[in-house]
Amino acid sequence: MTAKSFSLSLSFSLLALAVPVAQAHVTLETPVAEAGAPYQAVFRVGHGCNKSPTTAITVRLPQGFVSAKPLPRPGWKLDATPTAVTWTAGSKEAALADGTRADFVIAGSTTRGARPVWFKVLQTCEQGSLDWADVPAQGTSTAGMKTPAALLQVMDARDFALAKALPKVEAAWVRGSVPGQQGTGGFMRLIAREPLQLVGAATPAAGIAEIHEMKMEGDVMRMRAVDKVDLVPGTPFELKPGGYHLMLMELKQPLQKDTLVPLTLLFRNAAGAQLKMELQVPVSMQAPGAPAGAATEPHKH
């Protein structure tokens, strides 16, 4: 077998991985795991309940995740039963202010067999609570759900190896659009773990999704479609207004602020295998973390 035919046979392997990006949700730091292997569940909490500080986190332990050993958190009380783990802030000072990112960790193992495992997480705040417990009737898309459970994709060894190759996604957003607007942009930071190429994008929200590059040529800003961009391991690649971006055209309807848009990214690895990553990207009028009211360049096509 020649090297070429080897890479061709690999090019048909396709992996879909859903990665939630919405910042307000309770998510798993690493949403993929190998079946029948140790897995450290790191629950990431970044927001309170409507700005109210978080005072307790309860994780219901799902089937498919065993030998759970929660890690204590300084200043918080830990209660563990065979079915749930609760951390409770020991004082007002220990409570998590809205916008403070914190991790709650449970070491354990996955059981055998590839499947989605949903962790339901109750977030209790000084005022109110949020129960991150919505699970789709089928599939793994949490699009449109207000309080989705945290999803862990448990996969066999081969798929897991591919999934680990997918880049990390940070600060993803799609710019909202108004009625009649044909196109908009998608932005994020991609951090590759191994050499990869971003080779395409797709979304049910738009007829066409392309990778675009924006560049000054003399005094003129020009935009053109590119068929691939190289991602260098460890070097953040920015898709941002005024630079490389995802262009969504033939929008099927206006994209409303604070909704989620399903977005699929296609990558190719060094062996020629195609990897597919499915994201739920928040719609916003500005980059996440930008000061309120900060003017970002309108995306013109």
Enumerate residues 237-256 that contact Cu ion by CB under 5 A: 247
Question: Based on CB atoms, which residue is closest to Cu ion, 109 or 184?
Answer: 184
**Of residues 34, 212, 231, 279, which one binds Cu ion by CB under 5 A?**
212
Tokens of 92: 């007002």
Minimum separation from the CB atom of position 226 to Cu ion (A): 10
**DSSP per residue, the chain:** --HHHHHHHHTT---EEEEE--TTS-EESS-EEETTSEEEEEEEE---BTTBPEEEEEEEPPTTEEEEEEPP-TTEEEEE-SSEEEEEESSTTTSBPTT--EEEEEEEEE-SS-EEEEEEEEEEESS-EEEE-B--SSSS--TT-SSBPEEEEEE-HHHHHHHHTSPEEEEEEEE---TT---EEEEEEEE-SS-EEEEEEE-TTEEEEEEEEEEEETTEEEEEEES-EEE-TTS-EEE-TTSSEEEEEEESSPPPTT-EEEEEEEEEETTS-EEEEEEEEEEESS-TTSPTT--------
How long is the chain?
A: 301
Minimum separation from the CB atom of position 241 to Cu ion (A): 10
Question: Based on CB atoms, which residue is closest to Cu ion, 41 or 247?
Answer: 247
Stretch that binds Cu ion, among 73-81, 105-113, 209-217, 271-279 (CB under 5 A): 209-217
Q: Is 171 in the site for Cu ion (CB under 5 A)?
A: no
Enumerate residues 20-79 that contact Cu ion by CB under 5 A: none
Question: Based on CB atoms, which residue is closest to Cu ion, 127 or 182?
Answer: 182
Minimum separation from the CB atom of position 212 to Cu ion (A): 3
Stretch that binds Cu ion, among 30-38, 128-136, 188-196, 211-219 (CB under 5 A): 211-219
**Of residues 42, 133, 199, 223, which one binds Cu ion by CB under 5 A?**
223
Question: Based on CB atoms, which residue is closest to Cu ion, 25 or 245?
Answer: 245
Question: Based on CB atoms, which residue is closest to Cu ion, 15 or 211?
Answer: 211
Spatial contact of 48 and 56, defined as CB atoms under 8 Å apart: no
Minimum separation from the CB atom of position 179 to Cu ion (A): 20
Stretch that binds Cu ion, among 20-28, 132-140, 221-229, 265-273 (CB under 5 A): 221-229
Question: Based on CB atoms, which residue is closest to Cu ion, 60 or 228?
Answer: 228
Tokens of 181: 């607007």
Q: How far, in whole angstroms, is CA 29 from its chain's centroid?
A: 9
Number of residues that bind Cu ion (CB under 5 A): 3
Question: Based on CB atoms, which residue is closest to Cu ion, 162 or 198?
Answer: 198
Stretch that binds Cu ion, among 28-36, 154-162, 210-218, 274-282 (CB under 5 A): 210-218
Minimum separation from the CB atom of position 281 to Cu ion (A): 16
Tokens of 69: 């050993």
Question: Based on CB atoms, which residue is closest to Cu ion, 129 or 286?
Answer: 286
Kindly list the residues in this chain that would bind Cu ion in the complex (CB under 5 A): 212, 223, 247
